[in-house]
Copies of this chain bind each other. A is one copy, B any other.
Amino acid sequence: MRKRRPTSDATEIIHRRFYEGRPERLAELAEAEANDSVARKIHELRTGSGLTQRELAKLVGTTASVISRMEDANYEGHSLAMLRRIARALNRRVELRFVRTGERKKVA
């Protein structure tokens, strides 16, 4: 792969400009994406169950501001304990996996 295909995807352009070939930044990016992913999962889990933050908070045994904080993509302080509390309140369990990086891109 020598030459790049043109793209109009902003995310892609930004990626090329700031991260490509910069290991340190790539690590930060991975971190950021991971947090974003957790935040989003919690958000989806909650809204998918038709609950407001306050309602979920009550089920979990905390307050709405705490839930809001966990749904914030920039929050990095997730603990397994808290994630499990949320999971349990929604009849889920937390499953954890260590997957090899540099894996071939999945088909889907």
Copies in the complex: 2
User: What is the predominant secondary structure among interface residues of chain A facing chain B?
Assistant: mixed
Which of A31, A45, A95, A98 has the most CB atoms of chain B within a 10 A radius of its CB? A98
Structural contact, A84 and B34, CB atoms closer than 8 A: yes
Structural contact, A81 and B91, CB atoms closer than 8 A: no
Given contacts A27-B88, A80-B78, A83-B80, contact A94 B45 (CB under 8 A): no
Chain B residue numbers with a CB within 8 Å of A34 are 80, 84, 93-94
Return the contact of A96 from the options B31, B81, B94, B102 (Cβ within 8 A). B94
Chain B residue numbers with a CB within 8 Å of A30 are 93
Contact with B along A73-94 (1 / 0, CB 8 A): 0001111110110011011111
